[in-house]
Amino acid sequence: MRSKSITYSVVVTVIFFGISFIGCMFPIDLELNLLAGWGVFLWKTLPAVTVDWTSVLTAIVALGVFAVGLHRFCRWFYAPRDDSSSRGRTWKFAWSSAMVWSIVLMFTAGIAMIGVTHQLVWLCTMKTPFLYNTFDEVYARRDSRDHLQQIGLATHNYHDEYGTFPAGGMFDDAGRSMHSWATQLLPYLEDKKAAKIYGQIATDVPWNDPRNAAAFEQQLSWLLNPAIEMKEHVYDEPIHFDAEQRALAHYAGNVLFLRPNRPLAIQEITDGTSNTIIAGEVKAKFRPWGDPTNVRDLKLGINKSPHGFGSPSSGVAQFLYADGSVRIVNDNIAVEVLQADATPSGGEDVSDY
C-alpha cells in the first residue's frame, strides 16, 4: 500500500514538472491564484491602504443605530396580541443581529457582483486578449528565428556569387536612395515570390520611384515577425504598411556590417563570423523592406529605444550572426559586448568582458 502511495506521488511530481517544462503552467497558476491569490493581493495592497477613521466610526455608529432601530421595530411587530395564542413569545436580540449581518452581507455581495460583472464586461470587450497562449509565443519566436536563418542563407549565397555580403544600402552619386540590402537578397532566397518581385524592380531608378511602387507594396513573409503580428493590438503605429502603402520589415541590418555602398567581404571580418551581427529583430519604427536606410545602430541597446533593436518578447531579442547562426540575446547584455558583436573588425576580445 505504501509503495503505491510513493509511486502515485512520484507520478504526480513528474507530471507537474513535465507540464512546467513544456510551458503549460496556466492550469497550475489558475489553481494557485484561486487558493492563495487573495493572500498575495492583500500582502501587496494593504500597506498602501489608508484608513479614514472618521468614516469608519460613522459607519459603525450608523450600523449600531440601524441595528437598535430594527430590533425595536421587530419587537413591537412581534409583540403578543390580545389572543392567548401569542402570549409568551418575544423577539430575541440574536434574531436582530442575524438580520443585520444578513443585510450587510447581501449589500457587500451586491457590490462584489457589480464589480465582477464590470470586470467580465471589460475583459470581453477590451482589445487585449484575456489569455495568451504560451505555445503561440514559442512558435512565433521559432518562426522568427527561421526567418533570420533565411536571411543568413541568402547573404551567404550572395557572398558566394559576388565575394562580398550586400551593402546595407545603395546610393547613387547624386545621393539618391537606390536599393536596400533586402532587395539585393531577393534572388538568393529559396522563395519563388521573392524572385518574382525582384524581376518587377527597376534597379536603375530609386526604390521609391513610381515605377517600383507595385513591387514594394508586396509583403515578404520572411521579413515579418509573427510575434509582432500576434501582438498587433498593442501597437499604435502601422506594422504592415507605411502611409504610402509600402510593405514594412520587422528586421533591420546592423549599420556597422551592412554599410552604405560598402560591401563587406568575409575575410574582412577579423573579429570572427561567430562574433559579428548581421541583422536582428526590431519592434518599433518599422521601415519598408525596400528602404536603403533600414539599418540600426546596436549602441542604442536592445529594447531600450524605438529606433534600436528589440523584440515583443520581453527581455530578449534574436540576432543573425555572420556565421549563419541565430542567437537570443538578453537586453541587459553589457554594452561593451554588444558593441564588440556589432563591429566586424573592431579587434575587441569578448572574453575580456
Interval 158-174: pLDDT, tens: 999 999 999 999 999 98
Please report whether residue 254 resides in a domain. yes
Band of residue 48 on the pLDDT scale cut at 50, 70, 90 = confident
For 320, the domain range is 135-352
Percent of the chain at pLDDT above 90? 48
What does the alpha-carbon distance between residue 225 and residue 329 come to, in Å, rounded to a whole number?
A: 16
Please, which residues bridge with residue 302 across strands? Answer: 309
Give CA separation, 229 vs 105, 143, 223, 244, in Å: 47, 12, 12, 20
Same domain, 218 and 100: no
Count of the separate structural domains present in the chain: 2
Q: 207-246, pLDDT tens digit by residue?
A: 999 999 999 999 999 999 998 887 766 677 888 999 999 9
Least confident window among 45-59, 83-97, 282-296: 83-97
Same domain, 270 and 146: yes
Q: What is the model's pLDDT at position 345?
A: 86
What does the alpha-carbon distance between residue 295 and residue 278 come to, in Å, rounded to a whole number?
A: 10
Q: 183-212, pLDDT tens digit by residue?
A: 999 999 988 899 999 999 999 999 999 999
What does the alpha-carbon distance between residue 277 and residue 268 come to, in Å, rounded to a whole number?
A: 14
Residues in contact with 170: Cβ distance below 8 Å, sequence separation at least 6, in sequence order = 178, 179, 180, 184, 260, 261, 292
DSSP SS3 for 326: strand
Q: Which residue has the higher pLDDT, 38 or 117?
A: 117
Band of residue 19 on the pLDDT scale cut at 50, 70, 90 = low
Please report whether residue 277 resides in a domain. yes
Please report whether residue 4 resides in a domain. no
Q: Is the predicted pLDDT of residue 4 greater than 60, yes or no? A: no
Please report whether residue 265 resides in a domain. yes
Same domain, 202 and 347: yes
What does the alpha-carbon distance between residue 347 and residue 353 come to, in Å, rounded to a whole number?
A: 13
Same domain, 65 and 160: no
Mean of all residue pLDDT scores within the chain: 84
- Identify the CA nearest to 184 among candidates 322, 290, 319: 290
Asked if residues 295 and 254 have their Cβ atoms less than 8 Å apart, the reply is: yes
Give the number of other Cβ atoms within 10 Å of residue 221's Cβ.
12
Least confident window among 26-35, 109-118, 231-240, 294-303: 26-35
Q: What is the model's pLDDT at position 25?
A: 55
Average pLDDT over residues 263-269: 94
Q: What is the model's pLDDT at position 3?
A: 60
Asked if residues 96 and 90 have their Cβ atoms less than 8 Å apart, the reply is: no
- Identify the CA nearest to 283 among candidates 138, 139, 143, 144: 144
Dihedral (C-alpha) 9, 15, 17, 21: value to the nearest 10 degrees? 170
Please report whether residue 31 resides in a domain. no
pTM given for the model: 0.64
Same domain, 209 and 335: yes
For residue 35, the surrounding DSSP H or E stretch is: helix 26-45
Q: What is the model's pLDDT at position 72?
A: 86
What does the alpha-carbon distance between residue 3 and residue 17 come to, in Å, rounded to a whole number?
A: 21
Please report whether residue 141 resides in a domain. yes
Band of residue 296 on the pLDDT scale cut at 50, 70, 90 = very high
C-alpha cell at 34: 484561486
Q: What is the model's pLDDT at position 210?
A: 94
DSSP SS3 for 247: strand
Q: Is the predicted pLDDT of residue 82 greater than 80, yes or no? A: no
What does the alpha-carbon distance between residue 156 and residue 265 come to, in Å, rounded to a whole number?
A: 11
